[in-house]
Amino acid sequence: MQNFTTNAINLKSYNLSETDKIVVMYSKEKGIIKGVAKGVKKTTSKLGGRMDMLIANRLLMRQGKNLNTICQAESLNTFKNTRKDMDKLFYSIYCSEIVNCFGVENDPNSEEIYELLYKTLDAISMSKNKTELLMAVIKFQLKITHIAGYSLELESCVCCGGVLDKDNIYFSSKDGGTICKECRKNEFKSVKLHYKIRDFLNTLLQLDFDTKTRYDELATEKICDFCFNLLKQHVEQFAPKKIKSGQILEMTR
């Protein structure tokens, strides 16, 4: 049996027996991995709380025939501020569910996705207000769909490829981005998008997660909430599975 080490974030778990759990994680090296956490439900377990949801660990794993076993876990980040705030918790669960949904085993983009989820969970945990929290989630939504190959089109009309007139930009989640006035005639569900919001989203899409922009000062909760909802539809349009926590978020808003 071979051992390997990896950094991974716990996405969810289910019971295997009275004392053991199977933990589904997103790892930096191998994408989605599953591991048996032996004895984790006993109070004396050395893995303890490190196998709870939304914790990033450095793991020592033993490769098994069918299932890997988690031998050791050293926590890298428990995102502790998230654990005492329902809003932060819901949005963190939403992001981790999306990673579980788009992620695959032996993911070639695993490092990029791991870093994105880690930074997002950290930014949510550290956020000082709802606007900061939503900014982190919006960046996550833009980047995860980009990595998964469903990048949002924001520069031209996604239907005809035409140039957009800045006063007549519409957004169609079904088509995956901005559409022009003409194409809008066939898209009843599209919504009008102010060019400044288009520029805001385009800037966040182009730049690295950590890059500060003037929008960090300019963005308001109302604008971020509007963008979050547009991107939520965009994610749902291309997600291979239903995002259940998205519905919970709708109920709690």
As measured in angstroms, the least distance from the Cβ of 229 to Zn ion is 23
**Contact status: 183 vs Zn ion (CB under 5 A):** yes
Nearest to 35, CA basis, from 6, 43, 49, 113: 6
Q: How far is the CB of 157 from Zn ion (least distance, A)?
A: 3
User: Quick check: 158 binds Zn ion (CB under 5 A)?
Assistant: no
- Within residues 211-230, the interface with Zn ion by CB under 5 A covers none
**Window contacting Zn ion (CB under 5 A); options: 9-17, 72-80, 176-184, 187-195:** 176-184
Q: At what angle do helices 110-126 and 86-102 cross, to 10 degrees?
A: 170
Environment class of 81 (CB within 10 Å of its CB; exposed 0-12, middle 13-18, buried 19+): middle
Is there a contact between 121 and 53 (Cβ–Cβ < 8 Å)?
no
Residue 200 Cβ vs Zn ion, minimum distance, rounded to whole Å: 22
**Does 180 engage in binding with Zn ion (CB under 5 A)?**
yes
Q: Verify binding: residue 160, Zn ion, rule CB under 5 A.
A: yes
Q: Which is nearer to Zn ion, 14 or 188 (CB)?
A: 188
Q: Does 157 bind Zn ion (CB under 5 A)?
A: yes
Beta-carbon count within 10 A of 153 CB: 19
Percentage helix, strand, coil for the chain under 3-state DSSP, each rounded to 5: 45, 20, 35
| Residue 87 or 187 having the CB closest to Zn ion | 187
Q: Which is nearer to Zn ion, 57 or 172 (CB)?
A: 172
> Which two structure tokens, joined as six digits, stand for 88?
């932060």
Piece of the chain touching Zn ion by CB under 5 A; list 51-59, 152-160, 188-196, 221-229: 152-160
Q: Where are the alpha helices (DSSP H) in the chain?
A: 86-102, 110-126, 130-147, 181-184, 195-206, 215-218, 221-238, 244-252
Q: Which of 75, 162, 195, 245 binds Zn ion (CB under 5 A)?
A: 162
Q: Which stretch binds Zn ion (CB under 5 A): 22-30, 43-51, 159-167, 219-227?
A: 159-167
Stretch that binds Zn ion, among 1-9, 70-78, 153-161, 191-199 (CB under 5 A): 153-161
Among 159, 169, 201, 223, binds Zn ion (CB under 5 A): 159
Q: Measured between alpha carbons, how far is residue 156 from residues 4, 56, 159, 169, 236 in Å?
A: 46, 39, 9, 9, 22
**How far is the C-alpha of 237 from the C-alpha of 219, rounded, in Å?**
26
Residues near Zn ion, by CB under 5 A: 157, 159-160, 162, 180, 183
